[in-house]
Homo-oligomer: A and B are copies of this chain.
Amino acid sequence: MPGVVVVGQVARDLVLVVDRVPEEGGSTDVRERQELLGGKGANQAVACRRLGAEVELLGVVGADRAGEDVLAQAAADGIGVGGVLRREGVPTALLVDVVGPPGVRRLLEDVAPAALLTAEDVRSRAGLLQDAGAVLVQLQQPGPAVVEALAAARGALVVADGAPADARTRRRVLDAADVVRADGSEAEALVGWAPRGVPETVRAARELLEQGPRVVALAAGDADVVAWADGHVVLPHLGEDPVDPTGAGDAFVGALAVALLRGEDPRTAAWWAAAVAAQVVGTAGGRPHLDPDRLRETVRRHRGA
């Protein structure tokens, strides 16, 4: 299978599991602490790697100790980090996930503007994108970097995730991406209007399919809609005991991309993605071992096939 390149945020993720967030002036004990490689780019890269793909990251970290640590962790996870830029004088992005009570997350994000990709950064890594089998591009990165990545990835399966930064970027995304995906808060920027409920979300997905992409995945409340030329599927959230939603959307995107790259049909790829997301929400920090038997069992049980 040709490799995957993920273009997006690489960060340090500090996961703090608490019983509750303290009142003003109060304190609480942390029940569990994890310090991980995080950020949407790294999370998607880890999911793809755990599903067996060869993966390279393209992103920015600081020339600090945290940057060293997260790149060492990515390398230990089997992810190629030659494409990650180390920027002098920039602190590596920090994401603090405060998890508690179970299933409820609050995110404190410290991402300096200089920890985002520029078009020049992407140009300097164009070779990586040209050789990729699939390129996952996160639309949280600045528009010019996204546009550059879409152009360089022309030969690959292009998957765009998130809300485009502006109208020009949106146009380029719809022209260039094979797969687009947005969560509830991002859908309006991608679609142009805010779909509510499953029927409107299906209609929004059909509109997007007419503008270029071959597969569209949109969140609709507690479900995901995945649509393609001649069909769609509405996937319930399959996680039974959600602990931490961190990384579930990223794992969904990664799994969808890997399954499509392997030649699965969109319906099968969608079920696979939902099963992977379910395994992720069952674990604080969103970085579980992905057990193929359990994934197959989850799909079989819910899909009924």
Contacts and interface: CB of A to CB of B under 8 A. Distances in A.
Interface string A88-121: 0001001010100000111111110000000000
Contacts of A16: 96, 108, 110
A30 B106 CA distance: 12
Contact of A107 (B28, B33, B65): B28
B108 A30 contact: yes
A108 B96 CA distance: 12
Question: How many protomers of this protein does the assembly include?
Answer: 2
A109 B24 contact: no
Nearest to A23: B106
Interface residues of A, number: 29
Contacts of A304: none
A30 B94 contact: yes
A22 B245 CA distance: 15
A251 to B, nearest CB: 18
Contact of A27 (B22, B29, B65, B107): B107
Nearest to A16: B108
B107 A22 contact: yes
A25 interface: yes
A18 interface: yes
A26 interface: yes
Contacts of A111: 29
A8 B183 CA distance: 47
A111 B16 CA distance: 12
B106 A21 contact: yes
A64 B24 CA distance: 32
A184 to B, nearest CB: 10
Interface of A: 14, 16, 18, 21-30, 33, 65, 69, 91, 94, 96, 98, 104-111, 245
20 contacts: A16-B96, A21-B106, A22-B107, A22-B108, A24-B106, A25-B105, A25-B245, A26-B106, A27-B106, A28-B106, A28-B107, A28-B109, A29-B109, A30-B94, A30-B96, A30-B108, A30-B109, A33-B91, A96-B96, A98-B108
